[in-house]
Amino acid sequence: MKIGLVDSGIGLLPAAAAVRRARGDADLVLSADPEGMPWGPRSGADVARRALACAEAAAAHGLDALIVACNTASVHALSVLRARFEPDLPVIGTVPAIKPAAAAHRAVAIWATPATTGSSYQRGLIADFGNGAAVTEVPCPGLADAVQSGDAEAVEAAVKAAAALTPRDVGAVVLGCTHYELVADRIGAAVPGAVLYGSADAVAAQVLRRIAAGPAVEGRKGALEVILSGHKGELPAAALTYSEGAAVVASSGTA
């Protein structure tokens, strides 16, 4: 079983780690776009073009499924990728976990990039899945970039700024950018008492359902391949400072 993941940067690591937790024998192809990141400020058409290029590079490795492990790309490129690859290659997008958060809590905050906050896409999700909860949209300028670079001080500053915009009575914080799941511990500490809702585990479960994964191969470690802007590469050093990045590498065997 070989699963590809697409993102502008290391935001694909939470989903990759979740897939590996569920299926240690799964081969992973991580296709990122360091030459074009961040995708958030780009036009929708440009995001779709760059995501498609990353997906094509991953698909060339013979995938069984493709995960769009990026909220921005899921908004602007999911339909393009599905038109290109399905039905032969299942394509699974990433949606902020508003539905389960609003089902369990009456006050919810959604932390997202400034480009996503207040967007028609996010407002539509709130309207469809908000379940009558009080939902506060919280922009997090600079947080994804700080996570990508592994800049702990910048992460701390961005988290503190977002926490200051988050109502004290929220019962849940939805992590509306996949990069944010890499610093969930710091976000949780900044919003004490709130339950954090990410997307990685749900995405991993969905991809395994879509491909009707059979029993795991006993004792096999899945291989890891990294593609950076279309070329074979390695995970950046910052990726290994996060538990998800370290876990993916440690759980990988040879191709």
CATH architecture, range 2-94+201-250: 3-Layer(aba) Sandwich (3.40)
Predicted confidence (pLDDT) at residue 114 exceeds the cutoff of 70: yes
d(CA 158, CA 192): 16
Q: Which residue in 9, 45, 34 sits closest to 181, CA to CA?
A: 9
Q: What would the pLDDT profile of 159-168 be if each residue is shown by its tens digit?
A: 999 999 999 9
98-198 carries CATH number 3.40.50.1860? yes
Q: What percent of the chain has pLDDT over 90?
A: 89
54 is catalytic: no
Lay out the sheet containing 134-139: strands in order across: 134-139, 107-112, 172-175, 195-197
Reduced to 3 states (helix: H, G, I; strand: E, B; else coil), residue 135 is strand
Total length of the chain: 255
DSSP code of residue 54: H
> Kind of pairing, strands 231-232 and 224-228?
antiparallel
Q: How far is CA 70 from CA 48, 106, 163, 244, in A?
A: 12, 27, 22, 16
Q: What would the pLDDT profile of 167-210 be if each residue is shown by its tens digit?
A: 999 999 999 999 999 999 999 999 999 999 999 999 999 999 99
**Residues with Cβ < 8 Å from 95, sequence gap 6 or more?**
71, 74, 125, 199
Which is the catalytic residue, given 29, 97, 177, 204? 177
Which is the catalytic residue, given 29, 51, 63, 70? 70
> Can you give the pTM of this predicted structure?
0.94
For range 84-94, the mean pLDDT: 96
Outline which parts of the chain fall under CATH 3.40.50.1860: 2-94+201-250, 98-198
Q: What would the pLDDT profile of 204-254 be if each residue is shown by its tens digit?
A: 999 999 998 777 788 889 999 999 999 999 999 999 999 999 999 999 987
